[in-house]
Amino acid sequence: MNFPAPKSSPPGVRPGLNRRSATVAAHDVFMAAISFEASVQLRYLLEGSLQELGFMWPGMALFGVVSAVVFWAVGLYRGIWHYASMNDLLTILKAVTLAVLVFVPLMFMVTRLDMYPRSALLINWPLLVALLIGPRIVYRAFRAGTFSVIFERQRQNLVPVLLAGAGDQAETFIRDLMRSKSPSYQVVGLIDDNAYRIGRDIHGVRVLGHLDDLDVVMESLAKLGRKPQRLVITNDSFGGSVVADLLEAADRIGMELSRLPKLTDFRRGHADTGHNTEVRPVEVADLLGRPQKVLDRDAMRDLVANRRILITGAGGTIGSELARQIAALDPAHLVLMDNGEFNLYTVDMEMANDCPHLSRVAVLGDVRDSERIDVVFENEGPELVFHAAALKHVPLVESNPNEAVLTNLVGTRNVADACNRNGAVMVLISTDKAVNPTSVMGATKRMAEMYCQALSVAPISTEMPGARFVTVRFGNVLGSTGSVVPLFQRQLEAGGPLTVTDPAVTRYFMTTREAVELVLQASALGRHPGVVAGPGSERGRIFVLDMGEPVRIDDLARQMVRLAGLQPEEDIQIVYTGLRPGEKLHEELFHEMESTIPTAAPGVLLAAPRVVSGSTIVPILDKLERAARNRDTEQCLNLIRFLVPEYQHTPSATIAAPARAIN
């Protein structure tokens, strides 16, 4: 396994008695000494004869030593104050009682209890309990913002589980199980990537080891008769590689891997329903392990709120997610446009169910039809347009280049011209396949970028100052209709094999939700002139989403087989088919000549590609449109190569290489 290296303990400090535990121990022993002195002084004060401080220092020292040993023996130092609860109170009651019971005979043997009033024990016991539990309660309540978190209790559960991650989510999960009337799980232990937490407790549940120690932890639990049936990930910050390693380890041990919903999701549920303690299977998106970007929600709302919004391609994967997220940002009116009747009907019904009060209209129309676009603008008056309509399936587009030109280029031009004439802001959804394209799809999207860049730098209409053009480029979206993930899922359901084009092929991936969130974030940046690096500096440039590290499709296929509870090569074969027409081994987000500039939004970069003037590009696009409408494929491809010289067309003759099974 390739887990991150543990945060090492300081030299000479064992896990379970590190600096934090030592601080807790010092606090508790100090409180024991204070309680002894205070109880004796209070007892003498009741008789009216206050004694000199420390007059019984041998007894105080002995009580401190006894308390230190007893507290260590009962595990008082292992509790994490951040998660202090009723379990800790019970442990303290046991520890203090035992300390007093051990101290009295020892004190009698040493001093015959000379000058030690017996009734001081009745004061010492509750005083020490208060001094130990008080700081813990105050600290816990301060961190949680309420005292209600203290009153928890543990119950017997059904399915034994081991938690991977000893942080807030694990604590909430354990606490909710304790409060539930019908819990489903019993937490038998935790593992974590932080060595400082190993050996410590959360609500009485021990952190048993590091993530790398899973095999040893499982063996130890099995010997105790507490072998878990499921490993549950309770840390959203674990990267995709960590999740993949946990999946491999759980698969090797024969244990199911699950994970919790996000903390905000299961806090919404009522404790008694059990909804907030439900775990879900690990999904492909979890293997990406992309850290959550900090989004400027106010800027995104300011972009959309009280404005009339048009989404082209609204029935597609990106278009429908745009509709969902935009609907939550209070637009004045939402126009859903698509040329596919069923997809449009589906997203419109979803909006009707989820946002019944939203002003909206569903428009059947093709972006290739400029007259239809003009009618939509005239009737609906959109102020902000998200242009997601496009042909995206690389091999199909490769065999139908004229249709790609008409949809991806001419369609974009129709929408852009309408925005330019009406003073609307247009956001073009582009793709990493537009960089050094080897496919017609990528080349047509690059030309669409070029046209919008030309309008952005030198708008055709100077009478509409509101017209602005923002281009956002990103890679593959998990689960989209043309992506490899649904294909693998169908192949798994059919019993395999899973087809991978090449063992070395990689792709950038992003979840649909994250992609659309960053599109909105980039659009908010691009809406205002000069927000990036000086007045007008974003004009003609392209916003590029940070896609993280590329993913090997071969690894993805194998991980999906394991997620299905099967073994690659044993239960499901992996077969290589060869690259299809237009496909690359590795996609790129930037051209080598494109300089990049960071923006104020994490996860969004700004690229400065070469810009072609409108006077140069428009006559060529006119010729290209005529060739496409005349179905003159050769002329189309020649003009594409002229505008995008880096484009290299892949002949259809190489559509597939002989399939071969992986060794």
How confident is the model over 57-76, as pLDDT tens digits?
A: 777 888 888 888 888 888 77
Are the CB atoms for 578 and 658 separated by under 8 Å?
A: yes
In the chain, the amino acid numbered 295 is L
For residues 159-175, average pLDDT: 85
Q: What is the pLDDT of residue 595?
A: 64
Radius of gyration (C-alpha) of the chain in whole angstroms: 33
Max CA separation in the chain (angstroms): 113
**How far is it, in rounded angstroms, from Cα 495 to Cα 573?**
9
For residues 547-561, average pLDDT: 84
Q: Is the pLDDT of residue 210 over 80?
A: yes
For residues 390-415, average pLDDT: 93
For residues 127-150, average pLDDT: 72
Smallest Cα–Cα separation from 569: which of 560, 578, 577, 558? 558
| Cα angle 280, 286, 290; round to 5 | 145
- What is the β-pairing status of strands 308-312 and 384-387? parallel
Long-range Cβ contact pairs of 527-532 (< 8 A, separation 24 or more): 527/303, 527/425, 527/468, 527/470, 529/468, 531/600, 532/597, 532/599, 532/600, 532/606
**How far is it, in rounded angstroms, from Cα 340 to Cα 346?**
10
Strand partners, 427: 386, 470
Provide the mean pLDDT of the chain. Answer: 79
Q: What is the pLDDT of residue 593?
A: 62
Alpha helices in 11-119 (DSSP H): 19-46, 57-74, 86-111
For residue 331, with 0-12 CB atoms within 10 Å meaning exposed, 13-18 middle and 19 or more buried, which class applies? buried
Q: What is the pLDDT of residue 598?
A: 72
Q: What is the pLDDT of residue 366?
A: 96
pLDDT in tens, 446-480: 999 999 988 887 655 455 555 788 889 888 887 67
pLDDT interval class at 84 (50, 70, 90): low
pLDDT interval class at 224 (50, 70, 90): confident
| Least reliable range by pLDDT among 14-18, 104-108, 515-519, 520-524 | 14-18
| % of the chain beyond a pLDDT of 70 | 78
- pTM of the shown model: 0.66
pLDDT interval class at 2 (50, 70, 90): low
**How far is it, in rounded angstroms, from Cα 386 to Cα 445?**
15
| Least reliable range by pLDDT among 136-150, 246-260, 308-322, 485-499 | 136-150
Please give the backbone phi and psi of residue 596, each rounded to the nearest 5 degrees, phi first. Answer: -120, 145
Are the CB atoms for 471 and 542 separated by under 8 Å?
A: yes
**How far is it, in rounded angstroms, from Cα 248 to Cα 463?**
61
For residues 413-434, average pLDDT: 92
For residues 382-393, average pLDDT: 93
Are the CB atoms for 655 and 445 separated by under 8 Å?
A: no
Long-range Cβ contact pairs of 113-118 (< 8 A, separation 24 or more): 115/55, 115/56, 116/40, 116/56, 116/59, 117/40, 117/43, 117/44
CA dihedral 392, 398, 399, 405 (to 10 degrees): 70
Q: What is the pLDDT of residue 293?
A: 64
Question: Which residue is listed with tokens 């494109």?
Answer: 594
Q: What is the pLDDT of residue 343?
A: 94
Are the CB atoms for 85 and 139 separated by under 8 Å?
A: no
**How far is it, in rounded angstroms, from Cα 159 to Cα 133?**
32
Q: What is the pLDDT of residue 71?
A: 83
pLDDT interval class at 539 (50, 70, 90): low
pLDDT in tens, 580-638: 887 778 777 766 666 667 777 777 877 776 777 777 889 999 999 999 999 999 999 99
> Three-state SS for 19?
helix
For residues 263-283, average pLDDT: 50
Are the CB atoms for 447 and 465 separated by under 8 Å?
A: no
Q: What is the pLDDT of residue 270?
A: 38
pLDDT interval class at 304 (50, 70, 90): very high
For residues 538-552, average pLDDT: 76
Q: Is the pLDDT of residue 564 over 80?
A: no
CA distances from 407 to 312, 382, 556 (A): 12, 21, 31
Q: Is the pLDDT of residue 157 over 50?
A: no
pLDDT interval class at 648 (50, 70, 90): confident
**How far is it, in rounded angstroms, from Cα 334 to Cα 355?**
11
Are the CB atoms for 498 and 560 separated by under 8 Å?
A: yes
Buried b / exposed e along 148-165 (16+ C-beta atoms within 10 A): ebbebebeebeebbbbbb
Smallest Cα–Cα separation from 242: which of 404, 82, 436, 3? 3
Q: What is the pLDDT of residue 657?
A: 35
Q: What is the pLDDT of residue 383?
A: 93
In the chain, the amino acid numbered 191 is I
What the chain holds in terms of domains, given with CATH numbers, is 19-149 (no CATH), 153-282 (3.40.50.720), 297-654 (3.40.50.720)
**How far is it, in rounded angstroms, from Cα 564 to Cα 553?**
17
Provide the edge-to-edge strand list for the sheet that holds 542-545.
Answer: 360-364, 333-338, 308-312, 384-387, 425-431, 468-474, 542-545, 604-608, 595-598
Alpha helices in 224-363 (DSSP H): 240-253, 263-266, 284-288, 297-304, 317-327, 341-354
Strand partners, 259: 233, 280
**Could you write out the DSSP letters of every residue in 280-310?**
EE--HHHHH-PPPP---HHHHHHHHTTSEEE
Q: What is the pLDDT of residue 306?
A: 93
pLDDT in tens, 330-386: 999 999 999 999 999 999 999 999 999 999 999 999 999 999 999 999 999 999 999
Q: Which helix (H) or strand (E) holds 164?
A: strand 159-164
Q: What is the pLDDT of residue 12?
A: 37
**How far is it, in rounded angstroms, from Cα 555 to Cα 503?**
9
**How far is it, in rounded angstroms, from Cα 75 to Cα 465?**
71
Q: What is the DSSP letter of 497?
A: P
Choose between 353 and 533: higher pLDDT.
Answer: 353
Smallest Cα–Cα separation from 504: which of 408, 423, 438, 579? 579
Q: Is the pLDDT of residue 112 over 80?
A: no
Copy the structure tokens of residue 405: 């030109």
Q: What is the pLDDT of residue 389?
A: 95
Q: Which residues contact 577 (CB under 8 A, 6 or more apart)?
A: 499, 500, 501, 656, 657, 659
**How far is it, in rounded angstroms, from Cα 326 to Cα 345?**
18
**How far is it, in rounded angstroms, from Cα 456 to Cα 448?**
12
pLDDT in tens, 316-328: 999 999 999 999 9
Q: Which residues contact 301 (CB under 8 A, 6 or more apart)?
A: 329, 330
pLDDT interval class at 83 (50, 70, 90): low
Smallest Cα–Cα separation from 472: which of 412, 426, 436, 530? 426
Q: 317-327 and 512-527 are packed helices; what angle lies between their axes, rounded to 10 degrees?
A: 60
